[in-house]
């Protein structure tokens, strides 16, 4: 766990610090907080497609812990970027 400090959120989780830990694997909840989308959104995108790349920590099981790499999240967000309000992807 993270050391206690005043930088912790009221919920007890550490704030995202992507530059301090570029290789840190993020949980679904952390990705949801980072993007402003719900954890449910990412759970559904894993099932139906259209979400960012993810890792299943126990690849031989359907119930392995899910984690995301920050660069994969940033790439996924950039792929959805539109230009000039036209809805055309950049």
Tell me, yes or no, whether 19 lies in a domain.
no
Q: Which structural domain, as residue segments, surrounds residue 57?
A: 25-79
Percent of the chain's residues with pLDDT above 90: 53
CA distance readout (Å), 73 to 3, 8, 65, 88: 26, 23, 17, 20
Task: Check if the beta carbon of residue 32 is closer than 8 Å to that of residue 41.
Answer: yes
In the block, tokens 């570029």 appear at 22
Name the pTM for this structure: 0.67
Domain membership flag for residue 54: yes
| CATH classification of the domain holding 44 | 1.10.1660
Residue 37 predicted with pLDDT over 50: yes
Q: Tell me which residue has tokens 């940033």.
A: 74
How many domains does one find in the chain?
A: 1
């Amino acid at each position: 766990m993270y050391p206690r400090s005043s930088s912790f959120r009221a919920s007890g989780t550490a704030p995202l610090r992507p530059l301090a830990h570029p290789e840190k694997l993020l949980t679904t909840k952390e990705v949801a907080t980072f993007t402003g989308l719900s954890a449910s959104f990412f759970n559904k995108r894993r099932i139906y497609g259209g979400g960012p790349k993810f890792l299943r920590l126990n690849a031989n099981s359907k119930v392995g812990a899910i984690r995301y790499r920050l660069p994969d999240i940033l790439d996924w967000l950039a792929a959805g970027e539109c230009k000039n309000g036209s809805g055309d992807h950049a």
